[in-house]
Structures are given as C-alpha cells and as structure tokens.
Amino acid sequence: MSHIITQQILPGLHWVEIPAAGLRLQCGCPPDANKYLRAAGLICEGIHGETGPNAILLADTTAEPYTKGWYPVNTAEFSVMQMLYLQGLIVPNHPNNTGKKPLLIGETAELNRQLRYIYYGNYGLDNIRKLQAAGMNEQEAAAFWYVKEKFAFGAINPITNLIQPVYLDATETVEPLTGCYITRLQPNHFRISYASETVEINLQPGIFPSAYSLPAVHLPNDVAFGILHVGDGDGWDATRPCMGTALLFYEQCYMVDAGPNVWQNWQQTGKTLADIQGVFLTHAHDDHAIGLMQAIHSGMRLPVYCNSVVQAAFKQKMAALAGISPNEMTYFFDFRLLNIHQWQTIATAENGATLQVMPCYSLHPIETHIYYFRYTDAAGNQKTYGHLADILSERGLRAMEQSAPEQSRWLFEQIRRYYYLPADLKKIDIGGGATHGLAEDFISDTTVVKIFAHTHRPLTTEELKIGQARAFGDCDVLQALI
C-alpha cells in the first residue's frame, strides 16, 4: 500500500497526501486554487466543517512584475482563508481549532511576500494612522478601527500567529511534519519523501482556464444603460465566477470588481480586456480584485475607480504580492479617485445622457465600499443600480453596535442608510456568516428588482420570495436605446 497519494489538477497545481503523517499538501497556488480542488473533490464537507489541505508548497517565482507578460504565480489568500475559517483552524471554540497552524512552504523571498500579502488581505490598513493618511478624518478612523478590531477577534496580530512559515531555499530539504521531507531539486521541481517512498512534482505556473465552464454570451446592442451579470458566486463556488457585473453605458463597458479569471470569462461575450473602459473596485480581497493583477499580463494600464481608502488598501496588499512598493502600483494602474458618499459623473453620451457613480462605505474586515450607479437621460429621467458586494448582515451590525463606544455609533446608522437606499435594481451579497449579508435584511427594501449573489449554493425558496437569481450572461436592461 502506497504511503503517498498524488494527483495533478493542473500543470501548476498538484495534490500530495501522506495520510499516516497527516499531511495534505497543496503544491502550487494559482488564483482560484481552492475552486480547482473543490472541482476535483479534494475539498468537501467533513464532520466538523470542510476538508482540504493543511499545507501549501508555493511555486517558485522566476519573473519580476516589470517583466513583460508577468502574472501572479502564487495567490495564497483564499487557500489560507479556507483553512483558517472554513476548516475552522482559527475559529474560536471550533473542534478543528487545535492550535495547529497551516503550513506555508517556499523560497524565502516569495514566502515573505505571501505572508505580507495575506496579512494585508486579512487586516487591510493596520493602524489608525494609515486610515487617516488614506483620507479618513479622526472620527471616521476611530469608528472604523473599532469595527476592524471586532472582525479581528479583538486584536491585529502578526500573520505568523495564524500561519507557520517553512523556508525552503536553493536545494535544501525541510521536514514540515515528522517523517515528511521536501527537497527542491531545481526551480519548481520538488521531491517529497516519506518512509521509503518518494514522488517528484514539477510545477508549471501559468494562467490557467477557469475551474468551471461558461456559455457563450451575446451582448445586446440596444442598451443605453444595463447590467450584464458576469459572476454571481463567491470565492468558494466551484461552478460559477465570483460576484461581478459589467456595466453597459451605450458603447462603453465598465467592470464592477475583477475576480479570478474575469478576463477569460469576459471573452465569452466576444469582447476583450481592451473593450473595458475601467474597473470599479469595491475592495482588495482576491475574489474581487485579483483579476486586476492578472490584467498586468496584457500590458494595459487599466483605469481603476475607487475611494482613496480602498485605493490605499489595494496598493498596500497587491504591492506586497508583487514585491514592489505601494507607490509603484501606479505604473500598472490608472487610479481615478472617487469622493465617498457623493455622486460623480463618469461618462456622458453624445445625446447628453450621463453615467454617475457614488461609492459608500461598507463594513468588512478590510476597507470596502459599495456602489450606486445612476443613469440620467437628457430629459432628467433616471435609473439607478446598486452593487452591494461584501456587506454586513443586520445581525452583524447589531452585534457590533451594541458594544460600540458612544462616539462611534453614528457609523452603523450611516451604513444602514446606504445599504437600504432604494434603486431600480440591486445586486446584493447574501453570503451570510460573520462577514456577509442576508436576504431577510432586504424584505422592506423598496428596490424594484433585488438580485441575490455571492453564494456557493442555489438560492432557497425563502430567499426567492424576497429577491431573484441571475446566471452568467443574463442582462438587465434598465434603459433601452430609443
């Protein structure tokens, strides 16, 4: 009987399991790695939560971000989050929270980059001074810092409190678990040994196809203002792209968030990245933002719209991923700053119609905002779309509000005011849990059409009494061409 079980998922993603030693090793960590593992049956529901890896072997990075055709080789955020939260390794009082940390194994420079990027993905701007430097006033910074500490179970901690780094340089050998040995033979070529058995793994990093298949989409040509649904799942859904929207304004197309492989998915419409006028970014978590880093491969300098606070968090995290300074991110992206809680004109059509946007703060572990988009024709008639990605449930709002300092309680009413603004159409995160919304909170919302997204399951009968579902390629036309 073999001690070592291996499976190749992709050229840059392998599974190695040594049951006798308790090692479940994910080799390679491309965007959407956990979706590939789910599709292969290697992550599924267990007795006390999800199963999955307890260690990750990072691929070796051989190019710098200024190299033509660069792409992010390792994006371990969601793989680590799956271990910490869905497997329960960090969740207070969870039966899988035994004090054992997930292992992150790799070359020193790359491993340190990953640790910083995961840290900033977990905490965002990690002190009040950074919040103020990014544009918050003293009152806002104090209120958001209270919320941030609540999400962090009370304190911002070093990432090594959550993850155990194992450094593997040159042609060294390490023993991550007793009796298990990993040797780098050469870049991206590793030998894994246990007892008298060995296997060799060759990682070939690249930009891989999506973990799911999608239909071809015909873009309607009679749209003055419309919403094309290019993602309604979440970071764990192995059958659908992450929540995202393509905003159609006459001949122009804008993307609202850019999750993993979004540009490959976008090609199902017959369009390419070159047809995108810009990306509206809600926050820097990979399921909403790693597609921007994948866009670097094209050599285009995409316009990115967001408030200064979200921009600061995005630059900080993704600069850590790329191994550059936050200021160097402007080499790759044309950041266009938006004022929070104010309407701003983004585009004007030849007939005088305008497209405006208003970002509004949301509550999430890292700096986040939702968006409202407003179409106004030459006669003053308006249509409004709300994109409510990564919101907090009413239950979560109340729990934080109850113990909030008196001087910070204004924040919760402000958040509610913008969550429940009426619109002609809203796309709403109902992912549930400690950091996402619930459908029941929108029963009294007078928005005409409510679309629920950001789940890794079908909508329930009760949810469908309140809102609706959409599939990839569905289009809601809010204003047709006359």
| Residue range(s) defining the domain that contains residue 62 | 5-202
Q: What φ, ψ does residue 91 adopt, rounded to 5°?
A: -75, 125
Are residues 196 and 237 both part of a single domain?
no
What is the CATH number for 123? 3.60.15
Mean pLDDT of 103-117: 97
Distance, in Å, from the CA atom of 264 to the CA atom of 244, rounded to the nearest integer, reads: 14
pLDDT classification of 229: cutoffs 50, 70, 90: very high
Q: Which of 168, 202, 236 is the last residue of a domain?
A: 202
Residue 151 lies in a domain: yes
418 within 8 A of 360, measured Cβ to Cβ: yes
Read off the tokens for 72. Answer: 């992010």
Are residues 284 and 400 both part of a single domain?
yes
Distance, in Å, from the CA atom of 449 to the CA atom of 229, rounded to the nearest integer, reads: 14
DSSP assignment string, 151-182: HTTTS---GGGT-EEEE--TT-EE-SSTTEEE
Residue 117's H or E segment, with its range, is helix 108-123
What is the CATH number for 424? 3.60.15.10
Are residues 227 and 286 both part of a single domain?
yes
Residue 214 lies in a domain: no
Residue 184 lies in a domain: yes
Q: In sequence order, which residues have a C-beta less than 8 Å from that of residue 223 and are 6 or more positions away? A: 248, 250, 475, 477, 479, 480, 481
Percent of the chain beyond pLDDT 90? 93
pTM metric for this prediction: 0.96
Residue 244 lies in a domain: yes
Per-residue model confidence as pLDDT tens digits over 406-430: 999 999 999 999 999 999 999 999 9
Are residues 174 and 37 both part of a single domain?
yes
When the pLDDT of each residue in the chain is averaged and rounded to a whole number, the result is 96
Mean pLDDT of 165-186: 96
pLDDT classification of 362: cutoffs 50, 70, 90: very high
Per-residue model confidence as pLDDT tens digits over 297-333: 999 999 999 999 999 999 999 999 999 999 999 999 9
Are residues 169 and 254 both part of a single domain?
no
pLDDT classification of 48: cutoffs 50, 70, 90: confident
Are residues 45 and 172 both part of a single domain?
yes
374 within 8 A of 384, measured Cβ to Cβ: yes
Per-residue model confidence as pLDDT tens digits over 259-269: 999 999 999 99
Per-residue model confidence as pLDDT tens digits over 11-36: 999 999 999 999 999 999 999 999 99
- Coil, helix or strand at residue 145: helix
Please count the structural domains in the chain: 2
Q: Which of 147, 169, 202 is the last residue of a domain?
A: 202
* Residue 285 clears pLDDT 70, i.e. is over it: yes
Mean pLDDT of 112-137: 97
* Residue 156 clears pLDDT 80, i.e. is over it: yes
Residue 215 lies in a domain: no
Residue 142 lies in a domain: yes
pLDDT classification of 1: cutoffs 50, 70, 90: low
Are residues 290 and 191 both part of a single domain?
no
- Burial bucket for residue 171 (CB in 10 Å: 0-12, 13-18, 19+): exposed
Are residues 339 and 377 both part of a single domain?
yes
Residue 122 lies in a domain: yes
Are residues 245 and 196 both part of a single domain?
no
Residue 228's H or E segment, with its range, is strand 223-231
Residue 212 lies in a domain: no
Are residues 51 and 156 both part of a single domain?
yes
Are residues 100 and 244 both part of a single domain?
no
Q: What is the DSSP code (8-state) at residue 313?
A: H
Q: Which of 202, 234, 258 is the last residue of a domain?
A: 202
Please provide the size of the chain in residues: 482
Are residues 196 and 239 both part of a single domain?
no
Helical H segments across 247-300, by residue range: 262-266, 286-295
Nearest to 262 by CA among 331, 210, 314, 307: 210
Distance, in Å, from the CA atom of 158 to the CA atom of 39, rounded to the nearest integer, reads: 32
Distance, in Å, from the CA atom of 221 to the CA atom of 225, rounded to the nearest integer, reads: 11
